[in-house]
Structure 1
Amino acid sequence: MAAVLCTNGLLSKTLAVVRSMGRQGIRTVVGEKTRFHASGFSKYADKTVVYPDPVRHPEPFYEWLCETIVREKIDFLFPMDDDVMDIVVSRQDGLGKLCRILVPSPESYRIAADKSLTMRLAEGRNVPCPRTAETSFGPQVDPDELLAVTSALDYPLCIKPRVGSGSRGVRFVNDAAELIAVFQDIHLTYPNPLIQEAVSYGGKYGVCLCYDDNHAVRAAFVQREVRNFPEERGPSVVQESIYDEKMLDYTKRLMDGIPWRGVVEVDYMVDSRTGEPKLMEINPRYWASLNLALACGIDFPFMHYRLGVGADPEPMLAYKEGVFGRQLLPGDILHFLASKKRWRQNPPFFTTKLKDDVISRDDPWPAAGFLVSALRYCLDLKMWRFLITR
C-alpha cells in the first residue's frame, strides 16, 4: 500500500491533506511536535508520530525525518508549514533519495519566501504591487536614513517582516515619528522589515496553484476572504470560492519568473480607490483554508501526490463558485466576539451551511482533537497566537 507522511498535524490544512489521502485509500502518517492535534484524531490518519522541533532542533528533525521515511516506507512527503518547508527545500536532494517530494528549487523558494525579493520580482514581471522601500540597517536604526529611504512613499505605511506569514510583526504607521518608533521595535525581532504604502482596503483574495515538475499549472483555485481575524488585515476565517481571470493571469505571470514545482498561494488586496488588485505576498506552501478548494472539487493534495509519484493526471481547473468555507475553531468564534457587526454578517455566524475546516459529520473526531489540544495549550499564549495566525 502507498504511504505518505504529513507534517504539522496541529494545522487544519494538514487535516485536509490527511482526509484527502485517506479517502483515496493511501496509508497516512501524520507528525507533530506533540500527540495532541486534530489531524491525529482523524479516522483517515493511520498513525501519529512525534518529532523534534524543526525550528529549535533542525538537524535532529532532519535525522528523524529520514529515519521515519525509511521505517514507515513513505512514498511521498507533504511538508505542510514554513518550519518544515525550510528544511525540506534545502535538503531535497538527500530526501529525494528516500521518497518522492515535489517542492520548488531553493532559489525559487528563497525569492517567494522573502517579501522584498517577491516585490522586486513583481516589478520586473509587471504585476501590480504597493510601492516599497527596503532597508539595510545593523542593530541600530538611523532615523534620518530611515526617513530618507521612505521619502518617496505616501502615508499610511505598512511595516512587515521580510520573511513570515499571517499577521505576526505587521504594523501600520501614519507619520514619520510613528514610523521611527515602530520600525525600531519591529527591527529588533524581524531585522530590516519591508516598508510599503498601505493599500486602501477593498478586499483580500488568494490564488492557489499546483505546478508539475515541468513548471506547468495542473490545478488552480481562487478565493475571496470574507471575514478575517483581526478584522480586515488578519488571516481569513471565512472564504468564498470565486473565479477571477485577471488575478490568475497576474499570478501565472509572476510565478513564471521563478519556475515553480508543487503548491503555492499568492495573496492580493484590491485597492478600493482604483479597483486594482495589488500583490501582497507569495505563500510558498499549503494555505490555511485548503479545505474550501477540496469542497469545491479541486483536490490539491491528491494532485500534488500524483504528480510527485510520476503520474500524469488531468488538470483540475474547473470548480464550484460561490461556496463558503470557514475556520470556526477558533477563528470565526474570535471574529464574532470582536466584531461590532457580528449580527449583520453575511454569511451569518449561526449557520451550518459553511464548509468547516475541522468539523465534519463524516470525520467528527478531529473536532474533539482540537478541543483536547486547546486544553493542552490553554495557558500557552505563544501557541494560541500561532494557531490564530495560521
Structure 2
Amino acid sequence: MTQGSSRLSDRTDTILVLDGDQTSALAVVRSLGHSGLVVDVASAFESPICAASRHTRLCTRYPDPLQNESRFINWINERMESGGYALIIPVTERTLVPLLRHREAIDDTRIAMAPSDALEQVLDKERTVTLATRLDIPVPRSWPIDSLDQLDTAAADLGYPMVIKPSRSVGHGNDGGVQLSVSYAHNRDDLEKQVRHALNHGAVILQEYFRGDGVGIELIADHGEIRFAFQHRRLHEVPLTGGGSSLRTSEAISPPLLAASEKLIKALKWHGVAMVEFKYDTRTGEFRLMEINGRFWGSLPLAIAAGADFPRMLYELICEGRIAPRPPARENVVCRQLARDVDWLEHVLRRNAPASLVRLPSWKDVLRDSALVFSPRHHFDVQSLRDPKPGLIDLGRIVNSQVKRVTDLLRRRWQLRRHGQRARQACGKRPIKTVLFLCYGNINRSALAHAYAAQRLGRDVKLMSAGFHAQGDRPADPVMVETAAAQGIDLSGWKSKSVDATMVASADLVLAMELPHIDRLLKQYPDAADKTFLLRGASAIGNDVEIIDPYGLSPDIYQTVCRQVICSVDTWLGHTQAHTER
C-alpha cells in the first residue's frame, strides 16, 4: 500500500462496529468507510447516530450487555457465523468487558481486543496504579477501599477535595451491569455518601486531587512496541471538574509523557489501540497518570482530523499484519463535540464548579474558544460536510433538548410562582398545632428551621423536622452548626430523622425547602397536598421561593441560607402566633 492512499487495498472486508450510539464509533465508521471497507453498525439502542452515516451498510440492534450478558454473547457468535466479518470492533467498556469475560466462547481472533491479562490490568484501576508504581511512573496518592471503616485513615492522608474512582468503569448491581464514573468529595459526609454508593458496585480507589490539564497520549502498539503516537490536550471538560472533553487540541508529543506511555505499553505487551491519560501541570512540569483506556476514546475524531487515523491503523495491524508508515499528525488542530460543548457553556454560565477545584473560564476565554469555529483547523466530532446526515440529526437533538429545557424551566417557574401564591394565601389562615420542616438530609435547612422555631415558639406549637435521607441520627453539618451559632441558634446536639407516615399524618403544616421535596413527599403521601407548602413561599415574591441546599458549598452560601430560613420561619410563625392568640 502506498503512503497516503485513501484505500487500504483491493480487499472488500466487512467490519462490524459495536456501540453505534457513540460519536467515537461514528469516527470509526467514517474512517473505515472512507478507506473502502464495508461497515456494519450495531448498538443496544434504537436509532444510533452511526445508522445515519453514508458509510454504514447495515445497522442492527443487540441485547444490552449490561442487562443480559449471555444473550449479547450469543448474538455476537451468531453474527460471526452469519455475517462473515473480518473484524468486530467494540468501542466502549459496555461491550468490551463482556467480550473479555467470555473470550473463550468466541472467536477472539476477529475481535479488536488486547490480550486478556493486559486488558484486565487497564480495566482495573487499582492494578493500573500498582503497575505504574512498579515502573516509577507518577500517580496520585491512592487508597484502595473496600470498607467504610477505611475512610478516616484515607482522608487523613489524602485531604480534600478527594477523587473517588470506582475500580472498574462497569460495575454490577441488582439489575445487571452499571456504568460508573469518577466523583469528588469535599468533606467527610460527602465522602461517606459517595463511597457507600460506589461500594455497592465493587471496589473503590480514593485519590488525591492533582491539578493540571487533561492530556492524552493516543497510540497503537504491536505486541508492546508503539508504532504510532499522538497527543491531545483537553480545552473544555464536562463537568468542569474533570470528565469527557467537549473541545480539545492536538499538540507536540511530550517526551516525558511518551516515555511513561512506552514503559506501560511495553510492560503490558499491549497489542492494539489505547489512550494513556495524564494530568499535566504546565507550571511545574509535573504529571500524574490517571488511567489507561484500552479501547477507542471519546476524542478520537480529533486524532483522525489531525491525520492520526487509528481505526485504519487498527485494521492494518489486525487484518494485514503490519501498519504502513505515516507522517506525524498535525499540531494545533481542534475538534468540538457540539452537544457536550453546549453543556459546557451552561456549566460555565452557572459557575457549576467549586473554585477550589478549577479555574472557571472568563468571558474572554469563552469568546476566544467560540471563535475557533472560524479557523480552518477547527472540526466537529459529528458535523461533517462529507457525511452530513449524522450532523443534522445531532443538531436536531441539540435543538430539541434545548427547547425541552427551556419549556421545563418555564413550567418550573410557573410552578414556583404558584406555590409562592399558595403559601402567601395560606399563611395565617388556619390554626397550627404541629409543624413539620422538610428537606433532603435534615442536617442543614430543616434542622436550622426546627431549632430556630423552637426558640421562637417555645411549647406553643409542636415542632418536627425530617429528611428523605435513609440514615437517621446524623449530626448537623459542621459548617451550618458554626453559621447557626453566630445567630444564637444551637445545633451542636442535633440528630437527623427520616420522614415517615406518622410525622406527615400528625402535622397540620408541612414546610419544605424545594419543589422536588414537595413532589417527592406527595408521591408517597398524596393526602398531604393541602397542608404542604414551600417554607420561603410566604416571605419571597415571584419564583425565587426555594432555599437551596448549601451542603459542600462556600460559607457565604451557608450564611445566605441561614438568613433565608430565619426570615421565612419568622413570616410563617409570626402569623401562627397571631392566629393562636386570636
Task: State the Cα deviation string for residues 126-165 of structure 1 (Å, max 9, x = none).
Answer: 111101111222xxx33xx321244333333211211118
Match of 1:57 among 47, 64, 68: 68
- Larger RCO, structure (CA 8 Å, separation 6 or more): 1
Match of 2:346 among 337, 340, 356: 337
Task: State the Cα deviation string for residues 262-286 of structure 1 (Å, max 9, x = none).
Answer: 1111111124663311111111110
Change (3 A) 1:276 1:294: same
Deviation at 1:28, TM superposition (A): 0.4
TM-score for the superposition, normalised by structure 1: 0.87
Q: Which runs of 5+ in 2 are unaligned?
A: 1-11, 171-178, 350-361, 406-582
Q: Which has the higher helix share?
A: 2
Distance 2:227 2:260 in 1: 17
Q: Tell whether the 8 Å contact from 2:234 to 2:247 is kept in structure 1 after alignment.
A: yes
Give yes or no for the alignment of 1:321 onto 2:343: no
Q: What aligned pairs does 1:16-165 form with structure 2 within 5 A after superposition? A: 16-96=27-107, 100-137=110-147, 141-142=148-149, 145-164=150-169
Q: Tell whether the 8 Å contact from 1:29 to 1:46 is kept in structure 2 after alignment.
A: yes
Change (3 A) 1:29 1:268: same
Aligned to 1:387: none
Larger Rg: 2
Task: State the Cα deviation string for residues 179-222 of structure 1 (Å, max 9, x = none).
Answer: 3344324333x43311111112x21101111122x332122111
Change (3 A) 1:291 1:235: same
Give yes or no for the alignment of 1:347 onto 2:369: yes
Aligned to 1:246: 256
Q: Aligned AA for 2:70?
A: E
Distance 2:395 2:365 in 1: 28
Percent of counterpart pairs with the same letter?
26
**Range with greater deviation from structure 2 (301-310 or 172-181):** 172-181
RMSD: 2.6
Change (3 A) 1:272 1:197: farther
Aligned to 2:356: none
TM-score for the superposition, normalised by structure 2: 0.59
Aligned to 2:504: none
Deviation at 1:96, TM superposition (A): 2.8
Distance 2:197 2:71 in 1: 33
Aligned to 2:157, what secondary structure does the other structure show?
A: coil
Distance 2:41 2:35 in 1: 16
Aligned to 1:385: none
Deviation at 1:250, TM superposition (A): 0.8
Aligned residues: 370
Q: Aligned AA for 2:192?
A: I
Change (3 A) 1:114 1:360: same
Q: Tell whether the 8 Å contact from 1:38 to 1:368 is kept in structure 2 after alignment.
A: no
Q: Tell whether the 8 Å contact from 1:133 to 1:150 is kept in structure 2 after alignment.
A: no
Q: Aligned AA for 2:381?
A: D
Q: Tell whether the 8 Å contact from 2:18 to 2:42 is kept in structure 1 after alignment.
A: yes
Q: What aligned pairs does 1:215-254 form with structure 2 within 5 A after superposition? A: 215-243=224-252, 244-254=254-264
Match of 1:356 among 380, 384, 391: 380
Q: Aligned AA for 1:235?
A: G
Aligned to 1:146, what secondary structure does the other structure show?
A: helix
Deviation at 1:11, TM superposition (A): 0.6
Deviation at 1:293, TM superposition (A): 0.8
Aligned to 1:274, what secondary structure does the other structure show?
A: coil
Distance 1:80 1:342 in 2: 36
Distance 2:21 2:188 in 1: 40
Q: Aligned AA for 2:166?
A: P
Aligned to 2:31, what secondary structure does the other structure show?
A: helix
Distance 2:402 2:70 in 1: 29
Distance 2:309 2:68 in 1: 33
Deviation at 1:369, TM superposition (A): 3.6
Q: Which runs of 5+ in 1 are unaligned?
A: 382-390
Distance 2:297 2:38 in 1: 23
Deviation at 1:178, TM superposition (A): 4.0
